[in-house]
Amino acid sequence: MARSPRWRELDPQKLSPEARRLKEGLLARVIGQEPAVDALTTIHQIWRSGLADPNRPIASFLLLGPTGTGKTRMVEALAELLFNDRRAMLKVDCAEFSHSHEIARLIGSPPGYLGHRDTPPYLSQENLDRHQTRENPVTLLLFDEIEKANDALWMLLLGILDKGTLTLGTNEQVDLTRCLIFMTSNVGADHFDRMHDSPLGFQRGAAAAPPDMAQVSDSVLEATRRIFSPEFLNRIDRRIVFNSLGAVEFKRILELELGYVRQRVRKRLDVDLKATPAARKWLLEKGTNPRYGARPLRGLLESEVLFAVANLIGSGQVVEGDAVQVDVRRDGGGLVFRAQHASLAAAASRGGGATVGGGPTGSALHPVVESLAAGRDLLPAGSH
C-alpha cells in the first residue's frame, strides 16, 4: 500500500524577500514603532499574495497615539519605499472639512451647480491612480485627524471602507479597491500625557520603571470606542496605537534627521557637515520632548542648522569642498559653526566661527541659498 507523503511543517510568520525588504526599510525610517511596522508588513504580504478582499480597499488602518511619534511619517516612509517619493500619496486633512459643502472639494459638485467645472474633485480616479506603478499598483490614501471630520465626510468614509467605491458629484464611480487607507487620530492620546505627568516619569530606556504600554494602549482603544461609532470601527482592519517615544528613540531620530540634512548639503553643495557630540546633545534637548515627541526636531534642524549653513554659503564664508563643524556656543545659548577647507590656511584666513542663534538673517539670499531655504522637505525626493 502506497504511503501518503509526509506533511511538511510550515511557518506562517515567514516573510517573502519583498516583504522583508519593506519591513527593514520601514524600521530604518520609523523608530520605535515595531508593532506598527509588523502590521503594515503583514498587510502588504496579504495584498501581494492576492488574498485581499477584491471588493473593498486593500486594507484600512486607524493610527492612534501621541503627537510627533511617527504616524504620518510611517505613511511617508511607505510612499518612499514603494514610489521613491515620500509625497506620493493622497492626503485629506479632515479638519479642513468642518462644513458639509466643503466636501465638494473631494468629490466635486453635481452638474448645474455653480462652479462645478472649476473644482476638479480631489478623489477623482485620475488622482487616485496618479502614483501607481506597474510594480506597485496601489494608492496610499491618508485621512488625517478623522475625529474632526464632519458628518458628510463620515458618510463618505464609511462608504469607501465598506464598498471600496465612491460616487462623485457627476455620478461617476471611483474605484478605491487598490487603496491602502490610513486614518490618524489623537483620540485618547491624553492617556499618554498622564503618564508623562506621573512621578515615575516616562523615558523608555531610562532608569525609570517602564511604562505599561499595554494598559495605555487599552485605554486609547477604549477612548476610540467612546468617540467613534461601531459601524466605523468594525470596518477598520487594524487599529494601531503608536508608542510614546523616549530618550533612546529620540537619539536615533536625531541621527536620522541629521543624516538627511548632511546628505542634502553634500549633494547640492559638496559641503561636509559634522555635528559635535555637544551639538547633538543641544539639538536633542531643544528638539524633543515627551509631550510633542520628535516633531520639533525637524523644524529646529531647519532653522538652526540648515538655514545657518545656507547663509554661511550665501555670504561666501563656506565654499564648495569645505567641511563645516556644528558645535555649541560656550554659553550654551546657541550653535556655532566652523569651517575647514582642504587647505587649512584658507580656513584660517577666513577667521574662526560664525555664531548663529536663529533662522535666516532676512538679507537677500544667494540663489543657491534660496533654493535650500525654500525646500521645506529636508529629505530630497528619492534619496535614502
Ligand X SMILES: Nc1ncnc2c1ncn2[C@@H]1O[C@H](COP(=O)(O)OP(=O)(O)OP(=O)(O)O)[C@@H](O)[C@H]1O
The residues that touch ligand X, with contacts defined as CB under 6 A, are 30-33, 67-73, 184, 186, 253, 256-257, 293-295, 298
Distance CA(70)–CA(73), nearest Å, equals: 5
CB of 184 to ligand X, least distance (A): 6
Asked if 72 touches Mg ion (CB under 5 A), the answer is: yes
- Scanning 65-73, 101-109, 204-212, 235-243 for contacts with Mg ion by CB under 5 A, the matching segment is 65-73
CB of 140 to ligand X, least distance (A): 14
CB of 307 to ligand X, least distance (A): 17
- Scanning 18-26, 71-79, 203-211, 248-256 for contacts with Mg ion by CB under 5 A, the matching segment is 71-79
Asked if 186 touches Mg ion (CB under 5 A), the answer is: no
CB of 47 to Mg ion, least distance (A): 23
Nearer to ligand X, 104 or 192 (CB): 192
CB of 95 to Mg ion, least distance (A): 11
Q: Which does 211 bind (CB under 5 to 8 A by kind): Mg ion, ligand X, none?
A: none
Helix residue spans in 118-243 (DSSP H): 125-129, 151-163, 190-197, 213-227, 230-235
Asked if 219 touches Mg ion (CB under 5 A), the answer is: no
Strand order in the sheet with 179-185: 90-93, 139-144, 179-185, 59-64, 238-241
What is the separation, in whole angstroms, between the first and last Cα of the chain?
A: 60
Asked if 150 touches Mg ion (CB under 5 A), the answer is: no
Q: HEC states along 75-115?
A: HHHHHHHHHCCCCCCEEEEHHHCCCHHHHHHHHCCCCCCCC
Sign of the CA dihedral running 151, 157, 158, 160 = positive
CB of 384 to ligand X, least distance (A): 13
Q: Which does 32 bind (CB under 5 to 8 A by kind): Mg ion, ligand X, none?
A: ligand X
CB of 287 to Mg ion, least distance (A): 17
Residues binding Mg ion: what is the number (CB under 5 A)?
Answer: 2
Nearer to ligand X, 168 or 195 (CB): 195
CB of 261 to ligand X, least distance (A): 11
Kind of pairing between the strands at 272-275 and 323-328: parallel
Phi, psi torsion values for 74, nearest 5 degrees: -60, -45
Q: Give CA 304 to chain center in angstroms.
A: 21
Distance CA(168)–CA(131), nearest Å, equals: 20
Separation in Å, CA 360 to CA 98, 303, 307, 367, 372? 36, 7, 6, 14, 11
DSSP state of 364: P
Q: Which does 294 bind (CB under 5 to 8 A by kind): ligand X, Mg ion, none?
A: ligand X
- Scanning 54-62, 69-77, 215-223, 359-367 for contacts with Mg ion by CB under 5 A, the matching segment is 69-77
Distance CA(216)–CA(210), nearest Å, equals: 12
Asked if 42 touches Mg ion (CB under 5 A), the answer is: no
Nearer to ligand X, 70 or 121 (CB): 70
Q: Contact 64/242 with Cβ under 8 angstroms?
A: yes
DSSP state of 146: G
- Scanning 1-9, 53-61, 72-80, 103-111 for contacts with Mg ion by CB under 5 A, the matching segment is 72-80
Nearer to ligand X, 82 or 378 (CB): 378
Give contact residues for Mg ion (rule: CB under 5 A).
71-72
